[in-house]
Amino acid sequence: MRHAEDSAIEPRVVHARVPGRVRLAIDGIRRRGDEARRVEASARALPGVHAARARARTGALLVEFDPQRTSVSAIVSALRVGAPEREVARVVRVGPLRSLASALRARSLVDDTWEIDVVALGRALATGAPRAALPAAMPAAPQPAWHAISARDVLATLESSEHGLGDAEVSARRDRDGPNALRAEARRSELAIFVAQLRSGPVALLAGSALLSVATGGLADAGVIALVVAANAGIGWLTESRAERTLGELGRTGPRRARVVRGGAVVEVDAEALVVGDVLVLAAGTLLAADARVIAADSLYADESSLTGESLPVEKRATESEREDVPLADRRAMVFRGTVVTGGSGRAVVVAIGDATEIGRIRALAAEIGTHETPMQRELRELGTKLVWTASTVCAGVLGVSLLRGATVRQALTSSISLAVAAVPEGLPTVAITTLALGVRRMREHGVLVRQLHAVEALGSVQTLCLDKTGTITENRMSVEQLCVSGRCVRATDAMLDDADVHALLEALALNNEVELDRAPDGSLVLVGSPTEAALVRLALDRGVDVAALRAARPIERLRPRTEGRGTMATQHGGALLVVKGRPSEVLASCARRLHQGRDEALDEAARTALEHANAMLAGQGYRVLAVARRALAEGEETVERDLVHLGLVAMADPPREGLDALMSTFHRARIDTVMITGDQPATAHAIARRVGLAREGRVDLLDATRIDAMDPALLRALAPKVQVFARVSPSQKLAIVRALQEGGRIVAMTGDGVNDAPALRAADVGVAMGRTGSDAARELADVVLLDDRLETMAIAIEHGRAIHDDVAKAVRFVVATNASEIMLTAIGVASGLGEPLTPLQLLWLNVLTDVLPELALAIEPPERDVLGRPPRDPHAPMFGGRELGRVAIEGGVITASALASFLWARTRWGAGPRAGSLAFASLSASQLVHAVHARSTRHVIWDRDRLPPNRAVPLTIAGSLALQIAAERLPIVRRVLGTAPIGPAGWIVALGSAAATLIANETLKATWRRDERAHGE
């Protein structure tokens, strides 16, 4: 049979002059990403082809090949889909399709019917293509519906087993399928970056000016305009290519690892080394590196928000099979690459790797759309477009006025060209990307790794900072402080093993524990596990318990971990023993007896009340409290957490980090609300919050999260901004809290380091993970990683986030003001009949000398000292409102007035000649350069006692540019090109004096505006 839709796919040679390269146009792949990928894969499989790249957006295919092995005509013939030779065969089999399916990657699996391109197979075999080339020669087809096949049949189809694959088979499959890696996002080439500099509206306006110059006989002017455009493009290329390299490093957090079963043993391998058929070992914190079919699960939950948008963790089950049409979000028997296991344990067999995974397909579709602009880049692009249209309108107006005043067409066009050149903001397109990239680099030097570009802008707008307690507010250095047994509490260091109650409690802590005992090279004992679990085992060891022997005698046979909605961990051990540890209220509710002086006795109301009182007392002192219980099981009895024997309470301390009270004051001064979200009991959370100064005014408002599930969403939205502490919070409730704050209009940053923080980290406007102690899942899902684990670094990140936006605004404000001054000066001269103060070439010189270089210097302006003393930036407010644009226009008017005054003085003294224009040229240049000093801040003036942080780039740029300006005035060859004349020392005194007057006038205006804002409380 033949596919009808393929008939439109006919390759046409567009360019083949370069040996070994051919560019083809294929209408059938235009705007069809699946067809583009299929044709690309087919091209790569052809003999002699080194590389192929298809673009669905343009319908183009670029093929690189060995001319000694193949030819352009052979490639076109082989790719011509729809020719009579392409036949598709249907092969019907009974039972699972094994090695043939693996080799061919057949199109579909429906009632054991497989569709295979037999011609492509024959061609690959006839040319001696290696086995790895066979799948690439096939059409890119969807994966079989693995969730609709039983786990047993999936293993059989993939020729795997619960014992995993052998080393030889793993090697063969890796050779066939390649590494488990997503195709790297294609970054722009150096040539593409340079060409992009020539595609902007400002450059189009300059090109039009050059054409008009040619039409009016100004060939020299047109040539210089072209040179300036090339020079500006070169500067843009240099800065933007460096920015691209910096931004290309975003998101790199090091190699990932995966635990798999190979040859019956559990091993850890690089995630890229996974192959189809590998059996993954899943546990809380596992970040999935491939799509896999679940074959065993025990309370297994996964966060799939990155793939499906489902906010809550989803339970995964090793179901026999599901309906084939089950939506992706409802496939309980599947786990997917990029998602994270949040609870439980299980195993799954890999069914897809690399680009064949669900997330790989999504990335491929996104690649067809292209990269997204940040809000800042979009705003600047729109601003540049508006400036070009405004300038074009003004040019047309000046042209009309010139003609009405009796000027010739050539004179009128020359005036319009001058105005167009003056209006072009050449440096504007590179401001945002350059400033963002430089900001990312500076933040990394301070221990802040930015993984998502949008986070740089969002950091400057953060209004609420949600803090995870453990590892963020506290040091994540747990230690056991007190034990409560038989109605009495003792210091952990005073607990004696000969006390039967203490002995039973310590043994339970050692058994109900996943910490592994290991030996360091020097022979010392190393505890591998979470800080909490390690602290419990360390206590048992210190008090004399032989943990290794105890575990050997009573190994864990079954483990039920803490999960969403259950705050206890239960372990069943050899010898029919059940041990439970966790939240005191839940453990106590499951107990019917208690251990008292070595004997089990009934747990009456008085004993319950005493335990509740002890728990409240310890929690009120800031301790984290765990309860421990056990139960002997009869042979064959079902493991149920009821009728337990309460063994006692364990009080643990995780000390707050030093200096947090001062840090909280810093956040509060920056108008950022600080909120603690923790799973601890209310009393514990409240005590820690007061100790670190979490609330602005001393009063800590707390909400017990156990009420959130039954709370009306509107009520939660209303309460969330008023609460400083959320206690007893589950992962889904963390997410609900973040969403409630966002729905209330807050920009939220969320810090975390554990697996349970992953959903909230992804949902927050800025997700922040700890670099050292944080889990892999938290780091991979976060937008920002604090490499040194210090919360103080978060203040630095917010400071730089605000400063980066300020730097962009300063650079843009400078460019708009200086370009406005050039427009005003030219328009006033033409409209008033004074003539053109400046020639087009002089204006081009100014735009390169006084726009681009000072703009780049302002882009690396360090944060102002009071940047954390201001409120967060409104993310919805434009960079420049009407009032701001009015002020920028006034600043440009002051520069214009200064240059115009110099021009008129020169005409009075020297007459209407080149010297007058040259003085206006020098005066405007100097005034624009010193305006960079004014643009360093919109709040501080040069005579303030509180000086701005030094930025050596600004004075160096001013001095260097002034030196070039003076050299241009002194060198005859440059004077001839620019059309200037010597102005002498007197002229330079006037020019520099006018520049100083401009700076003082604009600084005075700034001080006046600042005083008015303070008077109105802005």
List active site positions. Answer: 468
DSSP string, 794-859: HHHHHHHHHHHHHHHHHHHHHHHHHHHHHHHHHHHHHHHTS--SS-HHHHHHHIIIIIIHHHHHHT
CA distances to 494, 607, 806, 853 from 596, rounded to whole Å, are: 19, 10, 66, 80
In angstroms, rounded to a whole number, what is the distance separating the alpha carbons of residues 282 and 620? 37
Most distant CA pair in the chain, distance: 115
Crossing angle of helices 605-620 and 682-692, in 10° steps, is: 20
DSSP string, 696-758: SSSPPPEEEGGGTTTS-HHHHHHHGGG-SEEES--HHHHHHHHHHHHHTT--EEEEE-SGGGH
CA distances to 18, 39, 48, 128 from 45, rounded to whole Å, are: 21, 10, 9, 11
In angstroms, rounded to a whole number, what is the distance separating the alpha carbons of residues 9 and 928? 58
Give the H/E segment covering residue 491: strand 488-491
53 contacts: CB under 8 Å, gap ≥ 6: 40, 61, 62
**The two structure tokens encoding residue 817:** 């003001």
For 648, phi then psi, to 5°, come to 150, -175
96 contacts: CB under 8 Å, gap ≥ 6: 153, 156, 157
Q: Which amino acid is at 671?
A: R
In angstroms, rounded to a whole number, what is the distance separating the alpha carbons of residues 811 and 814? 5
Give the H/E segment covering residue 649: strand 644-653
In angstroms, rounded to a whole number, what is the distance separating the alpha carbons of residues 432 and 336? 36
**The two structure tokens encoding residue 309:** 């948008």
**Is residue 29 a contact partner of residue 53, using CB atoms and an 8 Å limit?**
no
662 burial level (CB within 10 Å; 0-12, 13-18, 19+):
exposed
* Residue 610 neighbours by CB distance under 10 Å: 15
> How many CA within 13 A on the CB side of residue 321?
11
Q: % helix / strand / coil in the chain, to the nearest 5?
A: 50, 20, 30
Beta 257-262 vs 265-270: how paired, if at all? antiparallel
Beta 591-596 vs 644-653: how paired, if at all? parallel
Sign of the Cα torsion 436, 440, 441, 445 reads positive
Helix/strand/coil for 636: coil
**Closest to 905 measured CA to CA, from 969, 806, 980, 986:** 986
Q: Which amino acid is at 601?
A: E
Residue 292 β-bridge partners: 335, 350
For 198, phi then psi, to 5°, come to -100, 0
In angstroms, rounded to a whole number, what is the distance separating the alpha carbons of residues 579 and 573? 8
**Is residue 902 a contact partner of residue 919, using CB atoms and an 8 Å limit?**
yes
Q: Which amino acid is at 680?
A: D
In angstroms, rounded to a whole number, what is the distance separating the alpha carbons of residues 420 and 391? 6
871 burial level (CB within 10 Å; 0-12, 13-18, 19+):
exposed
239 burial level (CB within 10 Å; 0-12, 13-18, 19+):
buried
